[in-house]
Amino acid sequence: NLSGDAYRHQHEITVTGDEVPSPFSSFEATGFSSEILREVHSAGFSAPTPIQAQSWPIALQGRDIVAIAKTGSGKTLGYLIPGFMHLKQCRKDPRMGPTVLVLSPTRELATQILDEALKFGKSSRISCTCLYGGAPKGPQLREIERGVDIVVATPGRLNDILEMSTISLRQVSYLVLDEADRMLDMGFEPQIRKIVNEVPSCRQTLMYTATWPKEVRKIAADLLGNPVQVNIGNIDE
């Protein structure tokens, strides 16, 4: 696809994988629901960022993705909106556990992701909550009991809650590892592996990272299935 290639060239996007779909150069091309389109327009966004433009059509095909792009490139909505569309197609009973799980390295980042999910998922009536350490578990457990579609969690706290058997990840079918490089730098690899072991293997897995060192490549090779790799700009090893 020539125009797809031109867009990639212009925005320094490189892709690796089989039959990678063309980027969406506009919001209208995405086929997102009218509720979601309304939210992005009211946020004042004029076009998808390059990582969104290229990762959205891949994610909407249900494929695994490794996306390598620097901070501030719009990765959060890059995985959240396809997650919303995933929920539209296969929403389960949230009281039995979340359908979408996002792992994030820190409380601060997890909170930012939750804010973005609340803002852009509100009119689609998507429920979400955040699990992080340094705060009492009680209110977090009550949110889980009440039932949520999306859980955004730091690996440490989620692993603690899993060990208490107060959350089931058996319904998770859309798993995101955000800032994977930072999570590994912080030593979360054992917790991540324990958590992912609780998620059924028939899932879609998306990994977002700013850098692509060999530890990240290794965990991607272990946890993702035949992913499409998307790079924006130069790869920083």
How far apart are alpha carbons 224 and 205 in whole angstroms?
A: 6
Residue closer to ligand ADP, measured from CB, 38 or 92: 38
Among residues 12, 59, 73, the alpha carbon closest in space to that of 31 is found at 59
Dihedrals phi, psi of 225, to nearest 5 degrees? -115, 115
Shortest Cβ distance from residue 165 to Mg ion (Å)? 30
How far apart are alpha carbons 12 and 27 in whole angstroms?
A: 20
Question: Residue 151 to residues 54, 108, 126, 219: CA-CA distances in angstroms?
Answer: 25, 15, 11, 21
Q: Does 75 bind Mg ion (CB under 5 A)?
A: yes
* Sign of the alpha-carbon torsion through 194, 171, 60, 114: negative
Which range of residues in 50-58, 74-82, 183-191, 197-205 is near Mg ion by CB under 5 A?
74-82
Question: Which position among 28, 72, 136, 237 is part of the footprint of ligand ADP (CB under 6 A)?
Answer: 72
Question: Which position among 8, 63, 75, 157 is part of the footprint of ligand ADP (CB under 6 A)?
Answer: 75
Among residues 119, 185, 129, 192, the alpha carbon closest in space to that of 155 is found at 192
Print the binding letters for residues 77-96 with ligand ADP: x by CB under 6 A, - otherwise: x-------------------
Which range of residues in 42-50, 90-98, 151-159, 191-199 is near ligand ADP by CB under 6 A?
42-50
Reduced to 3 states (helix: H, G, I; strand: E, B; else coil), residue 131 is strand
Residue closer to Mg ion, measured from CB, 75 or 203: 75
Shortest Cβ distance from residue 210 to Mg ion (Å)? 8
Q: Does 209 bind ligand ADP (CB under 6 A)?
A: no
Shortest Cβ distance from residue 181 to ligand ADP (Å)? 12
How far apart are alpha carbons 12 and 41 in whole angstroms?
A: 25
Length of the chain: 237
Residue closer to ligand ADP, measured from CB, 111 or 160: 111
Shortest Cβ distance from residue 200 to ligand ADP (Å)? 27
Q: Does 104 bind ligand ADP (CB under 6 A)?
A: no
Question: Which position among 48, 83, 155, 156 is part of the footprint of ligand ADP (CB under 6 A)?
Answer: 48
Which range of residues in 65-73, 126-134, 182-190, 227-235 is near ligand ADP by CB under 6 A?
65-73
Among residues 214, 227, 198, the alpha carbon closest in space to that of 67 is found at 227
How many helices and strands, by DSSP H and E, does the chain display?
A: 10, 8
Enumerate binding residues for ligand ADP (CB under 6 A): 45, 48-49, 52, 69, 71-77
Enumerate binding residues for Mg ion (CB under 5 A): 75
